[in-house]
């Protein structure tokens, strides 16, 4: 696709131009796309201005001195409430009236689905069009009441006298009064008349009609500040805030239209997350429920600390609960629940199956208990005996500050030298060069692994205790019952464990400021305690990092819109010029976005930047779950994720992935697999991540971006040109920065063209002989394994004797005896033709009814053929039911010449084994009934590999037999009847797969046979009627084909022992089949060492072999720019949920090698994204 592909197609453009004015005005539909009567527009204008009319009545009465201000508000609100109820009742009446009339109307299928036929000014269609109504009765009442309250308070908020007191300017009063009422009218219309679709859409569906409450909520926030100012006395800050908010109030319609203000669900989730992280020291959570529970517990802890009367008690309470709340409480609760269930179940049943392995056991419990005990002891002793000395350069707290500064520098250095690039700019000279194999990498990285262990100890054990020492010595804790102290120190005592690295940085910054600034009159020292200083520094640090990331993202879009030729549109030059001219405005947008912790939204991923609405750090409303677009390739991710999680656990603990915080994104690459990792939670010694797998069937856009990812990783890890010290990162500025490689146990995928092997006449000529050998081996192995279930040969003989009744009823199909070449099908062997017969019936209940006992010989029934249209009686000795195969054979022989009717049926003679143990290896008797001529049996006897047959028998041990003669194997080899059974069994399978001719099979026939798609034949029909034998034959043929490929690649087989080794290896370590087989997916999940599949490309006319090999290989990992991902996801949400731009070829989904736009869209949560695999929350222990 070219760069000038339309941002929106023609239909979506028209749709957007109708929807956006409706959003701006709060719901009125003035652009319909078809002609409507004028009263439709007039009615909407009247309803839009109704709140202003009632508010104007109240305002006039107040200005004339007739009523006081609060009575005025009550009057306007009451009028609006009654009006809203009347409007809703009118809608309900119109719906009921329409229901009774619609039965008599004939719907015009040619009219547009959005087009209404209006009959009158107040007709039912008119009412339903203007006032859609509410889904729930409770919302009808509640929203009407809310509309009355909003109108009353809005009237009070915009009283001219009140505005004049704030600004002392009549002109300003008029402007605020007029445009303020426009804002209120917009809010009222969206609440009670028709709710507009918001540009700030978080949920795909508005189930409970929450969207209608969004605009009134923000109006109530502004009014609440004004009410606080009215009833507060001498509060200059409130007055100034009220003045500013009255002006911002006029711009609320603009903020709503631009989607800057979040919907209520996103607002409350974002607010709880921000308060939990920056106000209470916690971490963002992976689900809304966990977020709410953790917020309530953390807030309760902060409140409880306010009422503790002792300073020592406060210290111990904050230290203890800070540590406990930083642990992975959900996993601990799950482990406790699992332990209790297992204990109770063990009392009932000692052999009950164990559940999933839990990661929290006695070892972890003892470790956490020891850490908590030491932390409480340290905090208590230091505060009690050394916490009263003032801060100075030689005070105990200053000494702790020096230790923390040293720790920060050491940990920062140890973290950076484990990554392939220092600061993402220069290549790390300590990182192994030219990393290609696991062995070489592990050998070269041994030193770095030691560095990671040292850093893990410093991070987990040393740093938290050093920070607790610093905090316990602070004099601010001597002041009890201070809200600021409780909030600040509750936060930092928890953050020490929850987010150790950032807490260390914050404390070092504050301690350096204390060491450099001793002036007690300075605002920093006079008005703020240490806890509040740390809170402000933490917020400033986070917002500053966000600002830098957003600025990098914006610059990347600006530059690549011109430097990448495929991104260069006709409007690019104009957009870049405007961005350069208004660069201060762009910086302001980025700063506001960083301040709100909201994504920077590039509209259609063009250099047109908007401020996205604030939302949780995970970007999506639902929890991380296994929701994905599952396909056949999903199993490859399912197999590798457990091993990848273990490797990630070590990398995150060592710090080789950089500073990983909730909201961090990583991209892993191996061959055609792309794994997207999102960090959702972080705490003391644990990290919660979600892993997604992207599609393997690469489109052109996917392939272009994946190729750039490969280039970046290859430049970082595989090329030898990094011999220079501190060589630069040639892809600096890309949103992907390589970090390290991880050893992961997964499947490598190798695909080869089999030209010269499958089409080789020499190879195909030996294929049948090899198939006979493989089939003999497989049949003997099958019978040998089956014999292990028999207790003794006595039972076998008993079964054998009991399976040959003297007077056996004729019940087998006519092809149960060997056919002579001079024979033909007799009419006697055909059933009667009945009108109820169905020769195409593939499954019949008669098959179940006529199923023979195991070991029972089948004989040919005597059947008669009725001429169609004639009437005949059916013989008494003919079965009333028949198998589908009998029906099909009956149809086939209708046109064959007649033969002597007096010819009698032949019954398979009883097999007499010369060795009593031969019955153990006897093939099932129903497998001996293939309709093959006797001449072919003789021919097979000549081709039968007797030496191979004897060699296989000599390999059997029969250890499962308690008593066996010493010459058992020799007797088996000499048993001619047993050998004849295998000859007939092998011939039956060859007859089914290859037919009776001896021609060399063509490559196409080999492929069809491998895939199990051979054209129908009599032999194949017989073979498929024995499903177990058919599967054995198919498996043997696939083994034979794999043997042919191996012989062509590795050389011929030297002896029988080597051939057996091949076959045993195929049986134990390989799955040989098709990629589309269900067994293929099961083999991948079971981690079979090798898998082989044969494929065919009809376009190229070539046959391909695919081999999957399970081994430990290196997966490359890179860190993504978090804000670039959040920004593109914000645009995706806006584009699909608001603009409904779901065109598969839209501009914003096209390949962008720098922003990885297509991959980022894929990695979004469904239904907006389409990953083929998504794990549930994975809890990775980091100790």
Instruction: For 584-619, give the DSSP string.
Output: HHHHHHHHHHHHHT--EEEGGGSS-EEEPPP--TT-
Give the 3-state secondary structure of residue 1090: strand
* Number of neighbours of residue 134 by Cβ within 10 angstroms: 20
* Cis status, amide bond into 813, omega within 30 of 0: no
Q: Tokens representing 615? A: 């939302």
Residues 6+ apart with CB under 8 A from 313: none
Calpha distance 784→923 (Å, rounded): 10
Q: What burial letters (b/e) apply to 213-236, b meaning 16+ CB within 10 Å?
A: bbbbbbbbebbebbeebeeeeeee
Q: Which residues pair with 819 in a beta bridge?
A: 933
Calpha distance 674→74 (Å, rounded): 62
pLDDT of residue 589: 96
Report the helix count and the strand count for the chain, using DSSP H and E.
Answer: 43, 13
pLDDT of residue 114: 55
| Element spanning 1102, H or E | strand 1102-1120
DSSP E strand boundaries for 464-605: 600-602
Q: Tokens representing 544? A: 């500053």
Hey, what long-range contacts does 749-753 have (CB within 8 A, 24 or more apart)? 749/671, 749/672, 749/1106, 749/1107, 749/1108, 750/1106, 750/1107, 750/1108, 750/1109, 751/1104, 751/1105, 751/1106, 751/1107, 752/1104, 752/1105, 752/1106, 752/1107, 753/1102, 753/1103, 753/1104, 753/1105
| pLDDT for 454 beyond 70 | yes
Residues 6+ apart with CB under 8 A from 187: 26, 150, 215, 216, 218, 219, 252
pLDDT of residue 248: 96
Calpha distance 744→1115 (Å, rounded): 7
Residue 684: closest CA among 368, 277, 1017, 1080: 368
Residue found under tokens 């908020």: 157
Residues 6+ apart with CB under 8 A from 875: 862, 863, 864
Residues 6+ apart with CB under 8 A from 1126: 599, 612, 619, 663
Calpha distance 160→1014 (Å, rounded): 90
Calpha distance 833→139 (Å, rounded): 71
pLDDT tens-digit series, residues 227-261: 999 888 788 899 999 999 999 999 999 999 999 99
pLDDT tens-digit series, residues 831-874: 334 444 443 343 333 333 343 333 333 333 333 443 344 334 34
pLDDT tens-digit series, residues 659-698: 999 999 999 999 889 999 999 999 999 999 999 999 987 7
How, if at all, do strands 1070-1073 and 736-753 pair? unpaired
CA distances from 938 to 534, 628, 913 (A): 94, 58, 20
pLDDT of residue 865: 40
Q: Tokens representing 134? A: 């509410």
Calpha distance 402→392 (Å, rounded): 12
Residue found under tokens 């007499």: 912
Calpha distance 196→189 (Å, rounded): 9
Q: Are 897 and 859 in contact (CB under 8 A)?
A: no
Percent of the chain exceeding pLDDT 70 equals 85
CA distances from 175 to 60, 167, 169, 181 (A): 17, 12, 10, 10
pLDDT tens-digit series, residues 728-747: 888 888 999 999 999 999 99
| pLDDT for 639 beyond 60 | yes
pLDDT of residue 827: 32
pLDDT tens-digit series, residues 563-592: 988 888 889 999 999 999 999 999 999 999
Dihedral sign computed on CA atoms, order 237, 240, 244, 247: positive
pTM: 0.85
Q: Are 286 and 624 in contact (CB under 8 A)?
A: yes
CA atoms within 13 A on the CB side of 1159: 34
Instruction: For residue 890, name the pLDDT band (cuts at 50, 70, 90).
Output: very low
Residues 6+ apart with CB under 8 A from 1072: 1035, 1038, 1039, 1041, 1042, 1066, 1091, 1092, 1093
Q: Is 821 left (phi over 0), alpha (psi -120 to 50) or beta?
A: alpha
Cα angle vertex 371, ends 368, 373, to 5°? 105
Q: Could you say which DSSP state residue 101 is in? A: H
């Amino acid at each position: 696709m070219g760069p000038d592909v339309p941002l929106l197609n023609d239909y979506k453009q028209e749709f957007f131009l109708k929807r956006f004015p409706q959003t701006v005005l709060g719901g009125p539909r003035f652009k319909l796309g078809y002609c409507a009567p004028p009263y439709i527009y007039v009615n909407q204008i009247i309803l839009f201005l109704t709140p202003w009319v009632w508010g104007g009545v109240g305002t006039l009465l107040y200005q004339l001195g007739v009523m006081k201000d609060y009575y005025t508000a009550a009057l306007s609100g009451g009028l609006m409430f009654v009006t809203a109820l009347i409007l809703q009742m009118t809608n309900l009446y119109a719906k009921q009236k329409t229901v009774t009339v619609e039965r008599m109307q004939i719907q015009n299928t040619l009219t547009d689905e959005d087009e209404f036929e209006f009959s009158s000014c107040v007709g039912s269609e008119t009412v339903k069009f203007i006032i859609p109504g509410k889904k729930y009765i409770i919302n009808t009442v509640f929203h009407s009441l809310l509309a009355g309250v909003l109108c009353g308070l809005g009237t009070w908020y915009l009283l001219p006298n009140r505005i004049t007191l704030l600004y002392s300017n009549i002109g300003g009063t008029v402007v605020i009064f007029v445009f303020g009422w426009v804002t209120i009218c917009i809010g009222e219309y969206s609440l009670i008349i028709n709710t507009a679709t918001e540009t700030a859409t978080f949920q795909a569906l508005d189930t409970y009609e929450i969207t209608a409450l969004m605009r009134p909520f923000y109006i109530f926030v502004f009014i609440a500040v004004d009410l606080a100012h009215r009833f507060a006395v001498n509060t200059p800050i409130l007055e100034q805030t009220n003045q500013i908010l009255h002006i911002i109030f006029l711009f609320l319609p603009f903020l709503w239209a631009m989607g800057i203000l979040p919907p209520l669900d996103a607002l409350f989730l974002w607010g709880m997350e921000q308060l939990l992280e920056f106000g209470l020291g916690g971490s963002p959570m992976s689900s809304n429920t966990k977020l709410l529970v953790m917020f309530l517990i953390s807030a309760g802890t902060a409140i409880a600390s306010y009422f503790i009367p002792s300073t020592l008690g406060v210290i111990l309470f904050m230290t203890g609960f800070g540590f406990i709340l930083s642990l992975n409480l959900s996993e601990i609760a799950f482990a406790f629940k699992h332990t209790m269930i297992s204990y109770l179940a063990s009392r009932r049943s000692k052999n009950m199956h164990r559940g999933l392995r839990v990661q929290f056991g006695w070892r972890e419990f003892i470790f956490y208990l020891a850490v908590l005990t030491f932390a409480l002891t340290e905090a208590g002793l230091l505060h009690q005996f050394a916490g009263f000395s003032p801060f100075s350069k030689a005070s105990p707290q200053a000494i702790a500050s020096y230790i923390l500064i040293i720790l920060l520098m050491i940990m920062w250095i140890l973290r950076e030298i484990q990554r392939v690039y220092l600061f993402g700019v220069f290549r790390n000279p300590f990182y192994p060069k030219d990393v290609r194999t696991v062995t070489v990498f592990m050998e070269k990285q041994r030193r770095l692994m030691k560095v990671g262990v040292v850093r893990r100890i410093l991070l987990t054990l040393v740093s938290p205790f050093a920070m607790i020492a610093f905090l316990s010595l602070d004099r601010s804790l001597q002041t009890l019952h201070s809200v600021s102290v409780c909030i600040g120190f509750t936060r930092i005592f928890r953050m020490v464990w929850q987010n150790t690295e950032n807490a260390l940085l914050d404390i070092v910054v504050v301690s350096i400021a204390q060491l450099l600034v001793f002036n007690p009159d300075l605002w920093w020292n006079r008005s703020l305690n240490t806890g509040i200083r740390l809170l402000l520094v933490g917020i400033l640090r986070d917002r500053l990092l966000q600002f830098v990331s957003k600025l990098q993202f914006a610059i990347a879009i600006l530059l690549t819109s011109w430097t990448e030729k495929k991104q260069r549109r006709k409007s690019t030059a104009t957009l870049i010029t405007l961005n350069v001219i208004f660069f201060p405005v762009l910086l302001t947008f980025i700063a506001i976005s960083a301040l709100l912790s909201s994504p920077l939204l590039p509209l259609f991923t063009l250099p047109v930047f908007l401020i996205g609405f604030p939302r949780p750090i995970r970007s999506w409303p639902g929890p991380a779950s296994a929701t994905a677009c599952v396909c056949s390739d999903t199993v490859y991710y399912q197999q590798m994720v457990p091993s990848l999680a273990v490797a990630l656990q070590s990398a995150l603990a060592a710090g080789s992935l950089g500073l990983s915080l909730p909201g961090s994104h990583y991209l892993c690459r191996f061959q055609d697999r792309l794994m997207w990792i999102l960090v959702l939670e972080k705490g003391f010694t644990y990290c919660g991540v979600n892993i997604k797998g992207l599609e393997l069937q690469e489109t052109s856009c996917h392939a272009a971006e994946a190729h750039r990812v490969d280039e970046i990783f290859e430049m970082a890890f595989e090329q030898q040109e990094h011999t220079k010290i501190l060589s630069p990162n040639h892809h600096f500025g890309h949103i992907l920065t390589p970090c390290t490689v991880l050893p992961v146990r997964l499947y490598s995928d190798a695909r080869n063209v089999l030209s010269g092997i499958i089409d080789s006449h020499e190879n195909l000529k030996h294929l049948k002989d090899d198939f006979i050998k493989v089939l003999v081996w497989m049949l003997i192995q099958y019978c040998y394994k089956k014999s292990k279930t028999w207790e003794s040969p006595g039972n076998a003989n008993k079964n054998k004797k009991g399976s040959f009744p003297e007077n056996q009823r004729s019940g087998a199909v006519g092809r149960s005896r060997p056919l002579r070449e001079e024979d033909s099908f007799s009419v006697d062997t055909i059933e009667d033709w009945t009108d109820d017969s169905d020769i195409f019936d593939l499954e019949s209940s008669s098959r179940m009814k006529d199923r023979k006992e195991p070991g029972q010989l089948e004989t040919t029934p005597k059947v008669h053929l009725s001429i169609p249209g004639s009437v005949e009686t059916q013989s008494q000795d003919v079965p009333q039911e028949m198998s589908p195969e009998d029906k099909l054979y009956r149809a086939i022989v209708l046109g064959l010449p007649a033969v002597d009717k007096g010819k009698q049926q032949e019954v398979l003679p009883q097999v007499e084994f010369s060795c009593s143990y031969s019955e153990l290896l006897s093939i099932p008797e129903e497998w001996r009934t293939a309709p093959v001529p006797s001449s072919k049996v003789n021919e097979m006897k000549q081709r039968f590999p007797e030496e191979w047959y004897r060699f296989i028998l000599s390999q059997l041990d029969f250890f499962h037999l308690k008593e066996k003669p010493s010459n058992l194997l020799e007797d088996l080899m000499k048993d001619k009847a047993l050998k004849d059974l295998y000859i007939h069994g092998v011939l039956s399978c060859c007859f089914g797969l290859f037919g009776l001719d001896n021609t060399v099979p063509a490559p196409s026939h080999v492929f069809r046979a491998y895939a199990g798609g051979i054209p129908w034949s009599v032999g194949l029909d017989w073979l498929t009627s024995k499903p177990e034998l058919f599967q054995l034959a198919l498996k043997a043929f696939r083994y034979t084909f794999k043997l042919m490929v191996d012989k062509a690649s590795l050389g011929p087989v030297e002896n029988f022992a080597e051939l057996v080794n091949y076959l045993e290896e195929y049986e134990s370590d390989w799955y040989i089949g098709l990629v589309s087989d269900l067994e293929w997916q099961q083999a991948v999940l079971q981690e079979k060492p090798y898998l082989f599949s044969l494929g065919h490309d009809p376009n190229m006319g070539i046959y391909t072999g695919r081999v999957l090999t399970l081994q430990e290989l290196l997966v490359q990992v890179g860190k993504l720019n978090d804000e670039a991902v959040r920004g593109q996801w914000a645009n995706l949400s806006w584009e699909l949920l608001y603009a409904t731009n779901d065109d598969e070829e839209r501009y914003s989904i096209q390949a962008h090698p720098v922003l990885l736009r297509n991959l980022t869209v894929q990695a979004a949560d469904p239904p907006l994204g389409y990953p083929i695999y998504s794990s549930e929350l994975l809890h990775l222990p980091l100790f």
